[in-house]
């Protein structure tokens, strides 16, 4: 099981290079970093456009980077879902949200 996160342009088409996939095993880590609702459940929390989650992602990413030892305790025991994979995922999602702030957020869980 995984999360698919992608952005849609104003014409309703997926934006090239704005599709990311990560395991659900990182949900607890995302929650601890304060970014679960923005990434996994944006539509339930009033996040429609990429620009609406930029501040949340920035804060969560800063926390992830400031406390790697803390967050590594949330690594999945089976190896599918690690801090070292989650940080680049968040960095990439943040970068495309900053590049396309008016794009619509879409997720598939």
DSSP 34-99: T-HHHHH-GGGGT--BGGGGHHHHHHHHHHHHH-HHHHHTTS-TTSSS-HHHHHHHHHHHHHHHHH
Query: pLDDT confidence of 15, banded at 50, 70, 90?
Result: very high
Phi, psi of 10 (to 5 degrees): -65, -20
For the entire predicted model, the pTM comes to: 0.96
Say yes or no to pLDDT of 1 above 90: no
Task: Give per-residue pLDDT as tens, 29-68.
Answer: 999 999 999 999 999 999 999 999 999 999 999 999 999 9
């Amino acid at each position: 099981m995984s999360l698919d996160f992608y952005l849609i342009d104003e014409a309703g088409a997926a934006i090239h290079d704005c599709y990311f996939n990560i395991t659900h095993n990182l949900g607890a880590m995302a929650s601890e970093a304060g970014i679960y609702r923005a990434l996994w459940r944006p539509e339930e929390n009033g996040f429609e456009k990429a620009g609406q989650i930029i501040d949340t992602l920035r804060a969560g990413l800063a926390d992830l980077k400031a406390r790697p030892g803390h967050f590594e305790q949330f690594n999945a025991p089976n190896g599918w879902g690690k801090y070292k994979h989650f940080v680049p995922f968040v960095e990439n999602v943040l970068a495309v949200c900053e590049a396309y702030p008016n794009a619509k957020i879409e997720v598939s869980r």
